[in-house]
Structure 1
Amino acid sequence: MVMTLNGILVPLITPFDTDGTVALGALERLAHRVLDEGAAGLVALGTTGEPGSLTAAEQEAVVEVTAAVSRERGTTLLVGARPDLVARPEVTAALVTVPAFVRPGEAGVIAHFETVAATMPVVIYHVPYRTGQQLSAQTLLRLAAIPGVIGMKYSAGAIDETTAALVAGMPDGFALLGGDDAVLSPLLAIGAHGGIAASANVDARSFVDLHTAWRDGDIERARTLGNRLTALSRSLFAEPNPTVIKGTLHDQEHIPTTSVRLPLLPAAPASIRHALDRLTLSGSARGTR
């Protein structure tokens, strides 16, 4: 199932219950909630979902739940972590990172994605501060032109000349999705199609409104929302992702615990309070209390 990628996709956290198991009911409710708030789709087993700490069976259960929600709601679903989990009709594409650690060089990156995209639709995840490999504008455009590559989660950490060249040269049918929440607004302003925003776990509606404002040319509203959501995103990423997001969702009573799995540790209460304050200041507090 291949859809045009546009709008805000939410890379879901993986909630844990008090006994340490995956809280699948809470995951299902969270998926429906962000879609109710206008999200264009879901991402399962992205970095925010802690896939490396889940067993194979837990990964499969997470995909089963999110696929069922996507099937019911008719929305986009991207899946990371394991290619075999992509082979189901509800999944739009695999979210695949640029090869990390080995740093194969730009020619190697291109060859890698030509091979992967020959077997499944792919959204490339370009995140140099995690993979250890920068890519030139020329290489990014070559990746965008590979048949089967339908988009890119772009998390380069800044808006620079490389970003501008990528936006200017994007081929038809390719979607650029911002992946750095704090700089999502300026990327939307210069032509990105949407975003994969972890911060939208706590307030999808405001991120959807941000995308809509830039799309519709409502510059004043977009700037105001962008400034508020940048401050919110910075507070949510004050400690390793998704620890503060989980603490905030727990305070809102959306998930049963703040638990993460090693090597992550739960966020400090002060970080969670600061994020909640930012939610309140932005007019975005929508808890269930």
Structure 2
Amino acid sequence: MLSGIYVPLITPFAASGEVAFDALEKLAARALDQGAAGLVALGTTGEPSTLTPAERREVVRICRDVTASYGTQLIVGDLELTDGATAALVTVPAFVRPGERGVIAHFEQLAGRTPVPLVIYHIPYRTGQALTAATLRRLGEHPMIAGVKYATGAVDQDAIELLGDLPQDFSVLAGDDTYLSPMLALGATGGILASAHLHTHSFVSMAASWDRALGHRLAAMSALLFAEPNPTVIKGVLHAHGLIPTPDVRLPLVPATAESVARALDWGA
């Protein structure tokens, strides 16, 4: 069962525009040193659509080696690069809007041939396809579907119904950073959270022992980090702390404004 906090790593870039693999390795180790249950390689936060195939392979290799050395878990956002991974993070097919019967058929087919368990990435404001609790419950009964990253932009009725009646060994991980606290209160077992690049230990503590006051503080920080498209503000803050060589992102993203980064840096000051 998947539980705890998973950090979906950014992809740091050098001033030359190349991937700063050494910085990536240090970020991975830093997150695990602070108690993260594992890493996510090639999640949305890592800008995978802008990476070359060779860059994607190297990102996964580094994350695999680091998690192996710590004895922690690795979730990979690419079904073609799952060697050594715990699970694969797979979105509902975007733009197609196949309906829930189509989604069930799609995931059952993937689950029948995947080498590792699947984590469904339920993010309807990106994919255009909402799923009910009943659909997620049915998918969760498949032995090769381990859980869902729940990122609907709300704590909605389907989340309440799903968490109230989960299939055995099926995990619900919070996927919207600002909603970690209420999702944990309802029974989520952890989260896949870009904000956990920062104050990772606090997110880990929150997942281990729900604390309303800490939840409010972390939600406020997450809101600041998502004031502009992810991961631009996070990269700006990591760069300001000297953890990555540049705050750069690849098009179509552009770096966060100095104002947004400054507001995030002021959190907790």
Query: Which of 217, 224, 232 does residue 243 from structure 1 map onto?
Result: 232
For residue 161 of structure 1, report the CA deviation from its aligned partner.
Answer: 1.5
Measured against aligned partners, the alpha-carbon deviations of 1:69-90 in whole angstroms (never above 9, x if no partner) come to 011111110000x31101x1x2
Query: Which of 224, 227, 230 does residue 219 from structure 2 map onto?
Result: 230
* 1:101 counterpart residue number: 95
* 1:217 counterpart residue number: none
What are the equivalent positions in structure 2 for 1:3-82 lying under 5 Å apart? 4-80=1-77, 82=78
More displaced, 224-233 or 154-163? 154-163
Q: Which secondary structure state, in structure 2, belongs to the residue aligned with residue 199 of structure 1?
A: helix
Query: Which of 128, 151, 161 does residue 157 from structure 2 map onto?
Result: 161
Amino acid at match of 1:83: L
User: 1:118·1:147 contact (CA, 8 Å) conserved in 2?
Assistant: no
Looking at structure 2, the residues matched to 205 and 225 of structure 1 have their Cα atoms a distance apart, in angstroms, of: 12
For residue 160 of structure 1, report the CA deviation from its aligned partner.
Answer: 2.0
**Does residue 129 of structure 2 align to residue 133 of structure 1?**
yes
Looking at structure 1, the residues matched to 199 and 125 of structure 2 have their Cα atoms a distance apart, in angstroms, of: 25
Measured against aligned partners, the alpha-carbon deviations of 1:164-191 in whole angstroms (never above 9, x if no partner) come to 1100111111111000000111000110
Q: Which secondary structure state, in structure 2, belongs to the residue aligned with residue 172 of structure 1?
A: coil
Measured against aligned partners, the alpha-carbon deviations of 1:50-95 in whole angstroms (never above 9, x if no partner) come to 0000000000010010000011111110000x31101x1x200110
Amino acid at match of 2:39: L
Amino acid at match of 1:150: A
Query: Percent of aligned pairs with the same residue?
Result: 58
Looking at structure 2, the residues matched to 146 and 238 of structure 1 have their Cα atoms a distance apart, in angstroms, of: 37
What are the equivalent positions in structure 2 for 1:104-123 lying under 5 Å apart? 104-120=98-114, 121-123=117-119
Amino acid at match of 1:112: H
Looking at structure 1, the residues matched to 118 and 142 of structure 2 have their Cα atoms a distance apart, in angstroms, of: 10
Q: Which runs of 5+ in 2 are unaligned?
A: none
Looking at structure 2, the residues matched to 70 and 119 of structure 1 have their Cα atoms a distance apart, in angstroms, of: 25
Query: Which of 193, 197, 205 does residue 209 from structure 1 map onto?
Result: 205
Give the RMSD, CA atoms, in angstroms.
Answer: 0.8
Q: Which secondary structure state, in structure 2, belongs to the residue aligned with residue 233 of structure 1?
A: helix
- Aligned pair count reads 267
